């Protein structure tokens, strides 16, 4: 009697193993039925602002909030930068893109609230690269009498160049400076 039960267990394990192999083979064979997605950007190249801190609300210190097209910082942060990204194939030569500061939407004042550290109005992405930074210094120009929640926005808009236009969705970036 004991032999029969061992045989049943052995046969059961053998059946389970075969079922496992069949299901595994089916799962592997079905993956070839799906279309291979292309992860290569094949549209016209564009340039855009990118906030690599999106989702990190309070990092680094004095960083108040982040969004895809905006960031809020306290003036105590001292220095900050905005990433400009080329979407498309990298260029074999350095590529310069223009940007403007929207005076109608910006209440942050140059040399009082901020100072651009490199060439104002343009940013250059090096050869064989996809990004560069607009670097600036945050000055302590907001008086202590101003509410700590009041924003002094600095609004930048990419203008691109003759060959590469800015992305419509990410051509504007707002840096809000607070006391």
Residue pLDDT, tens place only, 84-117? 999 999 999 999 999 999 999 999 999 999 999 9
Position 177 pLDDT exceeds 70? yes
Confidence at residue 49, expressed as pLDDT on a 0 to 100 scale: 96
Strands 165-166 and 46-50: parallel
Report d(CA 135, CA 152) in Å as an integer.
18
Mean pLDDT of 38-42: 80
Burial letters 40-77, b for 16+ CB under 10 A, else e: eeeeebbbbbbbebeeeeeeeebbbebeeebbbbbbeb
Mean pLDDT of 39-68: 77
Confidence at residue 33, expressed as pLDDT on a 0 to 100 scale: 61
Report d(CA 2, CA 6) in Å as an integer.
6
Q: What is the number of residues in the chain? A: 179
pTM: 0.75
Strands 131-138 and 79-87: antiparallel
How many other CB atoms are there within 10 angstroms of residue 167's CB atom?
18
For residue 74, is it left (φ>0), alpha (ψ between -120 and 50) or beta?
beta
Phi, psi angle pair for 100, to nearest 5°: -125, 155
Confidence at residue 4, expressed as pLDDT on a 0 to 100 scale: 56
* Nearest Cα to Cα of residue 85 among 15, 169, 149: 169
Quickly state the pLDDT bin for 128 (edges 50, 70, 90): very high
């Amino acid at each position: 009697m004991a032999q029969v039960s061992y045989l049943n267990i052995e046969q059961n394990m053998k059946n389970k193993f075969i079922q496992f192999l069949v299901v595994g083979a089916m799962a592997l064979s079905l993956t070839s039925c799906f279309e291979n997605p292309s992860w290569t950007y094949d549209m016209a190249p564009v340039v855009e602002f990118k906030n690599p801190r999106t989702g990190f609300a309070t990092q680094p210190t004095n960083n108040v909030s982040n969004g895809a097209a905006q960031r809020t910082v306290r003036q105590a942060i001292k220095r900050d930068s905005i990433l400009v990204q080329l979407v498309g194939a990298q260029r074999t030569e350095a590529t310069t893109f223009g940007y403007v500061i929207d005076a109608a939407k910006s209440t942050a004042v140059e040399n009082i609230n901020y100072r651009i550290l490199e060439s104002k109005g343009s940013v250059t992405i090096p050869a064989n690269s996809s990004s560069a930074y607009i670097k600036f210094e945050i000055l302590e120009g907001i008086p202590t009498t101003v509410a700590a929640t009041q924003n002094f926005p600095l609004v930048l808009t990419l203008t691109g160049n003759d060959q590469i236009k800015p992305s419509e969705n990410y051509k504007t970036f707002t840096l809000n400076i607070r006391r």
